Amino acid sequence: MATSPQRAIELALAAIKRYERPDLEQRLHQARARLADDQVRLLVVGEFKQGKSMLVNGLVGAPVCPVSDDVATAVPTVVRHAETPVVTLVRAEGRTEVPLEELPRFAAEEGNPGNRERLLHVEVGLPRPLLAEGLVLVDTPGVGGLSSVHGAATMAALPSADAVLLVSDCSQEYTAPELEFLKQAMAVCPNVACVLTKTDLYPEWRSIADRDRQHLADAGIKAEVFTVSSTLRWHALQTGDQEVNTESGYPPLVTYLRKKVVAQADLLARRSTLHDVLTVIGQVVDSLRAEQTAQENPESVQQLIRELTEAEQRAAGLKERSARWQQTLSDGVADLNADVDYDLRDRMREIVREAEDALLAGDPQKIWDQFSVWAQQAVTSAVSANSVWATQRARWLAKKVAEHFDSDREQMLPALRVGTSDPLRSVPELAVRESDKFGIGSRLLTGLRGGYGGLLMFGLIGSVIGLTLINPISVGAALLLGGKGIVDERKRITTKRQNDCKVALRKYVDDVSFHAGKDSRDMLRGLQRDLRDHFTTLAEQLKRSLTESIQAAQKSVKASHGDRDARLAEIKTELAALERVVKQVTA
Amino acid sequence: MITDEVRRVLLTAIDLYPQASEVLRRQLVRLDEPLRVAIAGKVKAGKSTLLNALVGEEIAPTDAGECTKVVTWYRDGPSPRIVQFPQGKSLPVVRRDGALEIALDGPADRLVVDWPSQSLRSTTLIDTPGIASLTTANSLRTTHFLSPEDSPSEADAVIYLMRHLHSADANFLESFRDQGVARATAINTVAVISRADEIGGGRVDAMISARGIAGRYRADSSLQGLCQNVVAVAGLLAFAGRSLRQNDFMALTALAALPREELESSLLSADRFVDGSVERRALLNRFGVFGIRLAVTLIRQGVTEPSALAAELVARSGLLELQKVLHTQFGERRHLLKARSALLALDGVLRAAGDSRLTGAVERILAGTHEFTELRLLSALRSGAVKVPDAELASRLLGDEGAHPLVRLGLPRGSGPGEVGQAAFAALQRWQRHAENPMLTRRSADACRVLVRTCEGLLTREGARPPR
């Protein structure tokens, strides 16, 4: 049995207590806090009426998500672990707890049509073993055609998810939008699995599953496919019938979630904790070793001190703004800012071009309703694609900087370093900034709503202008007058409308670009700040360790022979104790 | 009669535009043919199943996977015949277990199936490949067929199937909504919530939920401008009911005789029910989980005759409702819809020729035919472009629920001419009053005048006398 990450931290904390290094202890405390907060977010997505909510209910064995024959889920429901069942409503203004039985009133379309309550999401806490392992299930509202506004919000939530379950029922094979969505999801999320639901209802589910696997293979998507029946699972939960439970297809899915999704995240957590523990102990050991060397060979102390001082200066240099990693970071962020901005502008230009062609093709008044919806959708999906892409690039940059930093450190401590290091492990979880969890999508939407309201108003003006044109009286007048005059007039008005619409469209796209640009710049600035803080702290710890080593070495010069022997023996036992801890932790 | 007028204009047009004579002649022939109704929808929406249910025979092939790959016409004919286009090649007619099997010979762009059937006599049904298909070519074929960019649509009316309203559905309906001369929108489209039995997970009360959802969609303003009506239909059940055989009935009776618990446990899932048995599998394929549950419940409740069970299944599937809607929306307006298609085609020719000699004649038919005016107003009311007081009465008066005077006036069946006259006169006065109401906008007042004209028509047509 391997030592749990929590236990490893305890051991390390106990071991370094006597060296009075609050900075290192702080680092371990942070690691512990991160572990406690460690969650695996599982996003359940799909078109509506595919059985997403039933799937979540089946997984946790409680009716937490509203289920109905009609469109049911109004807002995302987040199901996480809690000692006692609890329901929390999360609004932009804050959180309120409500009694359990009031859940449907807020989460269901029936009680909260079109999200009248303006909730960001609903949180449900449940005492369940699966959830206690850190799994958080997110039930999303159904997506009608994955390019709709809802769909864009789902896309924006993707990068923050640890795993995605794409739910679709066995009544038919994958449709084009679903496969498209899968491809995008694969690009930003490490774990994507497909769940085919309602096997109880469709006798042909096996052949559908085979076809879907074929479609996935054709599209080059490597994702596991699970076939489940929530009805059977529910029946099994109520009657305790194990046989039915096996038939429901849930056990393999639960195993997958446990063994693959949770365990993988766990492994990641374990690795990064271990990395922290080993580095912390390593720094203490380094100091002790330096002292040991100095005590053993007093003649070479000066040499050692020189080396250490140089190393310390290099470590101090790391904190400077001129350090290489700092440059990589600031250059990278500047580049990224420019690229993201360009990408957004490019996408928007494409939309404007296409839209203007459509507007010029005819009288904009006739198509305005559909047109404004289309424009809104196109702009939304462009913005979300842009933000997904920006997140991907930002992660890449973070890795780049970490590599830099690590190689700097390797150079700096040639003789004394023990153990290997993996630069990727020290990258903090940057992409999942708490405020962004549902932020990008919903903030974007409110931005759009504002813009859209303006458009609607404009559309109304348009219809007022057009009023005299289409009523039958004027058609009759046209016939009487021979048609010529009215045709010219109609043309003039159409051109005017086309121009008005173009102006409205450009203004709208401008507004959205402005807000989206601000969002992405904020995101990048946050990233830069996080990375800088993280690595500066590391540099500081390193410098402090080296300073301690130097002090120890200098002390040894002054020490008497007897003291030296005693100190050597002490160091030996201390080193042995630390090594024991390392062994225990890595076992 | 509007058909005669349209025919006259078409004949004149053929003389004037010899270069387009083929297109116009086709329209001429089409005027005398049955109404063409296309069945469209997303992949696996149940289009072929519904077509089979409407015809009552398994002539459209169905499968678990995507099945219909070519636009297929089903029309009445003296003997069964399948012709594949563009080659014009006859294909062998093969039936297996009552199901028609069609094996395509080379690439095809459309199939025409002649089939002797009462149901096809007044309407030609057109089965289309699903939209949002993974095979883009299939999707495109449908989109092109129903809303071709350069020529008027081949279909006079559309039954649009959807399982739930997706944005893809709305886009499609919008593209079908025509921009042409008749300017009437949504008058030739009926939306169907298909596979309605699956909505509630196949529970016995699934159809009630499905009807509720259909009702909600009917009231949804975004759909009102796109289609005439929304109906929930369980296509599989309807077809099973229409083609119920004695041995099906025996098998179902045997099932009903099983102990309740045993049956319930085996009906938990399709796999459990089949359990390796070939007969049960066949039964399940024909009825679906919902169909079996419903049939067994009905038999337990005392249905003892196959014919009674069949009738009950068809009634519960929502097929009758659909047929009624099709009759009032399409059947009764047959001439109008066909005339409209022909005028659309003619308008296209006129535009292409850039000639205005016949524009006046076309415009005269469109503006002068009161039925067209009624349709235009009806669709304007539905889309909310025009508002009148008592909108519901107005829609009914315009023939939303049926063209018959009794239906329009909301009178019970069998009312005499005196009552019709009385009601029509009352309606006339109501709308005259509204038309003169200075508070109404000009468009609304115009709409009221159209309604007045309709009332006048009712009064004269029925020979009904206003009350003294």
pLDDT tens string A59-83: 988 888 877 777 667 778 888 888 8
Confidence (pLDDT) at B165: 60
- A202 and A231 inside one domain: yes
- B293 and B394 inside one domain: no
Q: Residue A450: inside a domain, yes or no?
A: no
Tell me how far apart the alpha carbons of residues B321 and B233 are, in angstroms, rounded to a whole number: 8
Q: With contacts defined as CB-CB under 8 Å, which chain A residues touch B355?
A: none
* Between residues A560 and B368, the one the model is more confident about: B368
- B450 and B394 inside one domain: yes
- B195 and B271 inside one domain: no
Backbone angles phi and psi of A446, in degrees to 5: -65, -40
Asked if A173 has any chain B CB less than 8 Å from its own CB, the reply is yes
Asked if B448 has any chain A CB less than 8 Å from its own CB, the reply is no
Helix (H, G, I), strand (E, B) or coil at B100: strand
Q: Residue A495: inside a domain, yes or no?
A: no
Q: Mean pLDDT across chain B, nearest whole number?
A: 82
- A309 and A201 inside one domain: no
What is the residue type of A567?
Answer: R
pLDDT tens string A324-344: 778 888 888 888 888 888 888
CATH of the domain at B106: 3.40.50.300
- Degrees to nearest 5, angle at CA B234 with B229 and B240: 135
Q: Residue A506: inside a domain, yes or no?
A: no
Tell me how far apart the alpha carbons of residues B152 and B79 are, in angstroms, rounded to a whole number: 30
Q: With contacts defined as CB-CB under 8 Å, which chain B residues touch A215?
A: 134
Tell me how far apart the alpha carbons of residues A68 and A113 are, in angstroms, rounded to a whole number: 14
* Between residues A414 and B259, the one the model is more confident about: B259
Mean pLDDT of A160-178: 82
Q: Residue B447: inside a domain, yes or no?
A: yes
Least confident of A2-16, A233-247, A339-353: A2-16
Q: How far is B378 from chain A (nearest CA, A)?
A: 14
Confidence (pLDDT) at A511: 81
- A132 and A196 inside one domain: yes
Sheet containing B81-85, strands listed edge to edge, beginning at the edge strand earlier in sequence: B89-91, B81-85, B110-114, B71-75, B123-127, B35-41, B157-162, B189-193, B229-232
Last residue of a domain, one of A203, A232, A248: A248
Q: Residue A22: inside a domain, yes or no?
A: yes
Tokens 């009805």: give the residue: A231
pLDDT tens string B81-110: 999 888 888 888 888 877 888 888 778 888
Closest chain B residue to the Cα of A248, Cα to Cα: B269
Helix (H, G, I), strand (E, B) or coil at B310: helix
- B69 and B137 inside one domain: yes
Tell me how far apart the alpha carbons of residues B72 and B94 are, in angstroms, rounded to a whole number: 16
* Between residues A5 and A255, the one the model is more confident about: A255
Q: Which residues contact A580 (CB under 8 A, 6 or more apart)?
A: none
Q: What is the 3-state secondary structure (H, E, C) of A438-480?
A: CHHHHHHHHHHHHHHHHHHHHHHHHHHHHHHHHCHHHHHHHHH
Task: Look at residues B148, B221, B226 and name the one whose alpha carbon lies nearest to residue B187.
Answer: B226
Provide the pairing of β-strand B110-114 with B71-75.
parallel
Q: Which residues contact B428 (CB under 8 A, 6 or more apart)?
A: B452, B455, B456, B459
pLDDT tens string A508-525: 888 878 877 887 788 778
Q: With contacts defined as CB-CB under 8 Å, which chain A residues touch B167?
A: 144-145, 147-148, 377
> How many residues in total does chain A contain?
587
Q: Concatenate the DSSP letters of all residues of A202-225 into one string.
A: -TTHHHHHHHHHHHHHHTT---EE
Backbone angles phi and psi of B216, in degrees to 5: -65, -45
As for how many domains chain A has, the answer is 2
- B400 and B460 inside one domain: yes
Residues of chain B numbered 243-262 and touching chain A (CB < 8 Å): none
Tell me whether residues A173 and B134 touch, CB distance under 8 A: yes
- A277 and A342 inside one domain: yes
- A48 and A151 inside one domain: yes
- A60 and A17 inside one domain: no
Question: B216-235 in b/e burial notation, b at 16+ Cβ within 10 A?
Answer: ebeeeeebbbbbbbbbbbbb
- Contact (CB, 8 A) for A475 and A403: no
Q: Which residues contact A357 (CB under 8 A, 6 or more apart)?
A: none
Residues of chain A numbered 483-502 and touching chain B (CB < 8 Å): 483
Q: Residue A502: inside a domain, yes or no?
A: no
Asked if B370 has any chain A CB less than 8 Å from its own CB, the reply is no
Q: Residue B352: inside a domain, yes or no?
A: no
- A191 and A227 inside one domain: yes
Q: With contacts defined as CB-CB under 8 Å, which chain A residues touch B359?
A: 483
H-assigned helices in B147-268: 167-176, 206-219, 221-224, 235-242, 246-257, 260-266
Phi/psi zone of residue A454: left (φ > 0), alpha (ψ -120 to 50 degrees), beta?
alpha
Q: Which of A48, A69, A456 to mutate to test the interface with B (most CBs of B within 10 A)?
A: A69
- B224 and B290 inside one domain: no
Residue B425 has pLDDT above 70, yes or no: yes
- Contact (CB, 8 A) for A77 and A136: no
Q: Counting Cβ atoms within 10 Å, is residue A400 exposed (0-12), middle (13-18) or buried (19+)?
A: middle
Q: Which of B68, B134, B213 to mutate to test the interface with A (most CBs of A within 10 A)?
A: B134
Considering CB atoms only, which of B167, B206, B363 is closest to A145? B167
Residue B241 has pLDDT above 90, yes or no: yes
Structure tokens at B44: 């696996």
- B248 and B227 inside one domain: no
Beta bridge partners of A40: A135
- Contact (CB, 8 A) for B191 and B216: no
Last residue of a domain, one of B314, B331, B350: B314
Consecutive H or E run containing A91? strand A86-91
As for how many domains chain B has, the answer is 3
What is the residue type of A513?
Answer: S
Q: How far is A382 from chain B (nearest CA, A)?
A: 18
Q: Residue B360: inside a domain, yes or no?
A: no
pLDDT tens string B333-391: 888 888 888 888 888 788 888 777 888 888 888 777 888 888 878 877 776 777 888 88
- A156 and A299 inside one domain: no
Tell me how far apart the alpha carbons of residues A325 and A287 are, in angstroms, rounded to a whole number: 25
Last residue of a domain, one of B193, B210, B234: B234
Structural domain including B254 reads: 243-314
- Check the CA dihedral A198-A199-A201-A202 and report its sign: positive
- A430 and A546 inside one domain: yes
- Contact (CB, 8 A) for B47 and B92: no
Task: Look at residues B27, B29, B54 and name the one whose alpha carbon lies nearest to residue B39.
Answer: B54
Q: Residue B370: inside a domain, yes or no?
A: no
Q: Which of A196, A202, A239 to mutate to test the interface with B (most CBs of B within 10 A)?
A: A202
What is the residue type of A41?
Answer: R
- B278 and B165 inside one domain: no
Pick the most confident of A30-34, A233-237, A451-455, B223-227.
A233-237
Q: Which residues contact A549 (CB under 8 A, 6 or more apart)?
A: A286, A287, A290, A291, A308
For chain A, the farthest-separated pair of C-alpha atoms sits apart, in whole angstroms, at: 123
Structure tokens at B297: 């419940």
What is the residue type of A275?
Answer: H
Q: Residue B126: inside a domain, yes or no?
A: yes
Last residue of a domain, one of A248, A264, A299: A248
Q: Mean pLDDT across chain A, nearest whole number?
A: 74
Tell me how far apart the alpha carbons of residues B438 and B459 are, in angstroms, rounded to a whole number: 26
Least confident of A300-314, A453-467, A488-502, B358-372: A453-467
Considering CB atoms only, which of B43, B133, B271 is closest to A247? B271
Q: Residue B371: inside a domain, yes or no?
A: no
Mean pLDDT of A422-433: 32
Q: Residue B365: inside a domain, yes or no?
A: no
CA–CA distance from A466 to each of A263, A460, A462, A471, B197 (Å)?
63, 10, 6, 9, 45
Tell me whether residues B356 and A71 touch, CB distance under 8 A: no
Tell me whether residues A231 and B268 touch, CB distance under 8 A: yes
Residue B168 has pLDDT above 80, yes or no: no
- The 10 Å Cβ neighbour count of residue A95 is 10
Residue A256 has pLDDT above 50, yes or no: yes
Residue A213 has pLDDT above 90, yes or no: yes
- The 10 Å Cβ neighbour count of residue A511 is 16
Backbone angles phi and psi of B2, in degrees to 5: -65, -35
- B250 and B212 inside one domain: no
- B200 and B170 inside one domain: yes
- B76 and B171 inside one domain: yes
Tell me how far apart the alpha carbons of residues A557 and A548 are, in angstroms, rounded to a whole number: 15
Confidence (pLDDT) at B257: 92
What is the residue type of B247?
Answer: N
Mean pLDDT of B121-128: 89
Q: Residue B338: inside a domain, yes or no?
A: no
Backbone angles phi and psi of B161, in degrees to 5: -95, 135
Q: How far is B375 from chain A (nearest CA, A)?
A: 13
DSSP state of A141: P
Residue A227 has pLDDT above 90, yes or no: yes
Closest chain B residue to the Cα of A473, Cα to Cα: B446
- Contact (CB, 8 A) for A326 and A320: yes
% of chain B at pLDDT higher than 70: 86
A458 falls in which pLDDT band (50, 70, 90)?
A: very low
Q: Which residues contact B45 (CB under 8 A, 6 or more apart)?
A: B130, B161, B162, B163, B194, B195
Residues of chain B numbered 208-227 and touching chain A (CB < 8 Å): 209-210, 212-213, 216
- A194 and A335 inside one domain: no
ipTM over 0.90: no
Asked if A145 has any chain B CB less than 8 Å from its own CB, the reply is yes
Q: Residue A50: inside a domain, yes or no?
A: yes
- B112 and B155 inside one domain: yes
- Contact (CB, 8 A) for A325 and A406: no
Helix (H, G, I), strand (E, B) or coil at A245: helix
Mean pLDDT of A385-397: 76
The distance from CA A142 to its chain's CA centroid, rounded to whole angstroms, is 20
Dihedral angle, C-alpha B419, B422, B428, B432, nearest 10 °: -150
Structural domain including A372 reads: 5-33+273-434+519-586
Considering CB atoms only, which of A172, A200, A203 is closest to B44? A172
- The 10 Å Cβ neighbour count of residue A555 is 14
Q: Residue A260: inside a domain, yes or no?
A: no
Tell me how far apart the alpha carbons of residues B467 and A233 are, in angstroms, rounded to a whole number: 69
Tell me how far apart the alpha carbons of residues A382 and A531 are, in angstroms, rounded to a whole number: 28
Task: Look at residues A386, A382, A384, A388 and name the one whose alpha carbon lies nearest to residue A348.
Answer: A382
Considering CB atoms only, which of A201, A204, A207 is closest to B202? A201
Tell me how far apart the alpha carbons of residues B289 and A198 are, in angstroms, rounded to a whole number: 12
Mean pLDDT of A27-35: 80
Q: Residue A527: inside a domain, yes or no?
A: yes
Asked if B184 has any chain A CB less than 8 Å from its own CB, the reply is no
Mean pLDDT of A18-33: 81
- The 10 Å Cβ neighbour count of residue B318 is 25
Last residue of a domain, one of B282, B314, B346: B314
Tokens 């459209």: give the residue: B60
Residue A413 has pLDDT above 50, yes or no: no
Backbone angles phi and psi of A394, in degrees to 5: -65, -40
Mean pLDDT of B51-61: 89
Asked if B66 has any chain A CB less than 8 Å from its own CB, the reply is yes
